[in-house]
Amino acid sequence: MEPEAQAVHIDDVVPVEVSPGIVRRRLTATEGARGWLIDFAPGTQWPEVDVHEGEERYYVLSGEVIEGETRYEAGTYVVFAAGSRHQPRTETGARMLGINLLPK
């Protein structure tokens, strides 16, 4: 028997403001991972340093995300190891689709 798929249309997920100009949509989660979509308005920065217990991965769908001095443009896939920390920001605005792998 094949496992059942869970699907949701992004427009059906209620956006929640993380801080002024940044909204997150939490996507369907499992025991092993959770997904999210985040929209950054131009000139915004994640409100605190993000620390990871497990791996985090994101794909820049549009705009540009800046991590420290590194710029990730649309089409870039970024992976952070467990125990890493970062604080994304943007000058142009950005949309990213991410997955957090949950520690076991």
What ranges do the domains of the chain cover? Answer: 22-101
The span from the CA of 67 to the CA of 28, in Å, is: 26
Highest mean pLDDT among 28-32, 55-59, 81-85: 55-59
pTM to 2 decimal places? 0.90
Does domain 22-101 sit in CATH 3.60.40.10?
no
Angle at 74 between CA 70 and CA 80, to 5 degrees: 50
Q: What percent of the chain has pLDDT over 70?
A: 99
**Residue pLDDT, tens place only, 24-39:** 999 988 888 999 999 9
What per-residue confidence (pLDDT) applies to 34? Answer: 92
Cβ atoms of 69 and 46 within 8 Å: the answer is no
Mean pLDDT of 83-99: 96
Non-local (6+) Cβ contacts of 84 within 8 A are 51, 52, 56
